Amino acid sequence: SGHGWNTRYAIIRGICKGLKYLHEELESPIYHLDLKPANVLLDEDMTPKIADFGLSRFFFGEEQTQVTKTSMGTLGYLPPEYIERGVISNKFDIFSLGVVIIKIMTGPKGYSRSAEMLSHQFSELVNKNWRSRFHSTSLNMVQSYLEQVKTCIEIALSCVEADRQKRPDIGYIVNKLDETEMLIQLQHALSIDAGSSLDQISPDMPTGSGLLDASPKIESGCLHASPNIEGGLLDIHPCQLDFLFEPNKLISCPLRLTNNLGDQHVAFRCVPKTPEIYLDGLSQFQGVLPPRSTCTYVLTMEMQQHPPTNMDALSLILESCVVPQDIGDIDDYMSRQGPGHAVRLMAICGPAGKTVISEVSYYSSFRLSN
């Protein structure tokens, strides 16, 4: 009790990431089977650590479910299929996770109260209560916090579904939280990105990870606040990525790409020097820009406790080439044809207010023949 939303949200995300590691990132998944607040330890930075694996079980090979007559777990966190039939699966932990999230958001009696109400009524009540607590927060932050609250309570209520088949997998939950963070970064970037707005997004434009503003348009003048790359297929702004570091938070930087060619489509993809630094390794950061169009993307770094010491590790190569409109698979096309241009973008990561001279390296350039 007494912790603000930022702390609670970080704890929720940390527990979900820890559970994802146990369920999906080990060769033999581990089901905890006694997930509850008492078994989540917090370090001095309020980073959660899942503890007490005394009841945990390994699941091997294709094994997904077990049935047991052994009594285990803690009342109040046990799913109905275990209470009624002794069924153990990955959805056992998911049910417990839902109860934990509800209690983090609403207090010790929150889950019992949720059982007395329809899901949408309880969700509305939680959102209303948190909205009232944000009364002294800036409007931009309120919208971000409320989006996080909405996502978390929806996840929690789906986790405590009586039918285990309706409960989400932990991978879906983590992806949902990441998507929410991307949306918030989108809103923040657009709020400071002159000429951009959410209602300009077009469904016909590329759908790579972090798409912000994809309306086909010409934006003369606004892309040249810092140097662009002469002779390239794409105008790139900024030439240096500037990540404002915050401990244990996803941090992002917008990147605007413009295809100024009058009648040719340009495909692009991003190759980070150190993929593990970035969310999903920027594996989905690719697309095709129609002639005379602009996109703004958000590049997001994974949460870290301390800023990177080697800024060169943050650099990335942005490859681009002229392509037919019906290109199909971008990776396959570029692997066969090679990039038309490749530009190395440097990046910095530090606290707000730190400034470093912009730098861009012209890596290589040649035009593909069509």
Q: Up-side HSE of residue 95: CA atoms within 13 Å toward CB?
A: 25
| 14-71 pLDDT tens trace | 999 999 999 999 888 999 999 999 999 998 888 899 999 888 888 776 657 888 877 7
Task: Output the pLDDT for position 179.
Answer: 82
What gap in Å lies between CA 258 and CA 254, rounded to an integer?
Answer: 13
Verify whether residue 326 is a known catalytic residue.
no
Catalytic annotation, pick one of 34, 93, 178, 213: 34
The pTM assigned to this predicted structure is: 0.56
One-letter amino acid at 45 equals D
pLDDT of residue 186: 65
- Round to whole Å and give the CA distance between 271 and 340: 14
Distance CA 80, CA 61 (A): 26
pLDDT of 206 reads 37
pLDDT recorded at residue 62: 60
Residues of the chain under the 50 pLDDT cut:
192-231, 353-370
**What domains appear along the chain, each with residue ranges and CATH number?**
5-184 (1.10.510.10), 195-365 (2.60.40.10)
What's the confidence (pLDDT) of residue 95?
Answer: 98
344: nearest Cα among 258, 273, 276: 273
CB 57 within 8 A of CB 65: no
Distances 27 to 58, 60, 61, 307, 343 between C-alpha atoms, Å: 10, 8, 9, 30, 38
Cα separation of 244 and 241, whole Å? 10
